[in-house]
Amino acid sequence: MNTAQAFQMFRSCRSTVPVRGPARSALSTARRRAATAGVRYYSDDKSSASETSEAKAESKEGQGEAASSPSATSECEEKLKKREAEVVDLTSRLRYLQADYLNLQRNAAREKEQTKDFAISRFASDLLETVDVLALALKSVPPSALSQSSDASSPQPPAPATPADKPAEAYLTELHTGVEMTHRLLLQTLFKYGVKPFDPTGDNFDPNRHEALYQAPIPDKEPGTVFDTQKIGYMIKDRVLRAAQVGVVQDRS
């Protein structure tokens, strides 16, 4: 073998070396890509499966929440309606209680005022009997007797007279004057406490204020009219303390 042949062999060997290197490197790269591609494909399938399961779970939870939300809303609405009904009921009860309390206050104040005004009703009613007796005593003495006693006592000269020197007519006049003053004082005292007398003679008969003792036909009087008063009536404030005892004209028909 000469030098030329050796050199030619060296060149051929050298030219084959770079061809084998890239082939090997390409083969290894292809293997690596295949391996990594397999790993990626496996990892992508696993992640997609987990993501799918999570999506399904989330969809189930969303469906459950969507299904449960209407029921929860309806329950809240029912509770709200019940509370509103309770508020209306309690408000109406409170208003009724306030009205009852105000009425109770008014009634208590009116009863207190009436008790104050009519506290002497029983006492005044009992005292009216004394007033009636004094009035009868005054009516029992005719005006003619009083005029005769005054005429009989006037011509006498003024002189210190003893009780034995006074005539009977003078005593009668003094007694009548004393009874009349007592009667007037009693009426003034009763009037101070709201007790007022009334004489219904000539008025129409009122069963709330008059007590009919008898009836009689009177030609010149209208039927149902009071023509005689046996006992006058008395009012205390706006209430009848004692009805007047009267005689009423009878209807002739």
Cβ-contact 113, 134 below 8 angstroms: no
Q: How confident is the model at residue 16 (pLDDT cuts 50, 70, 90)?
A: low
Q: Hey, which residues does 226 pair with through a beta bridge? A: 248
Residues 6+ apart with CB under 8 A from 249: 215, 216, 217, 218, 221, 222, 223, 224, 225, 226, 227
Averaged pLDDT of the chain: 77
pLDDT at 183: 92
The pTM assigned to this predicted structure is 0.53
Q: Is the pLDDT of residue 182 over 90?
A: yes
pLDDT in tens, 81-120: 889 999 999 999 999 999 999 999 999 998 888 787 778 8
pLDDT in tens, 60-85: 565 555 555 678 888 888 888 889 99
User: What is the chain's alpha carbon radius of gyration, rounded to the nearest angstrom?
Assistant: 65
**CA angle centred on 247, ends 206 and 134, rounded to 5°:** 100
Q: Hey, which residues does 211 pair with through a beta bridge? A: 245
pLDDT at 43: 47
Q: Is the pLDDT of residue 139 over 50?
A: yes
Compute φ and ψ for 169, nearest 5 degrees.
-65, -35
**CA angle centred on 173, ends 171 and 179, rounded to 5°:** 100
Task: Return the structure tokens found at 86.
Answer: 């309770």
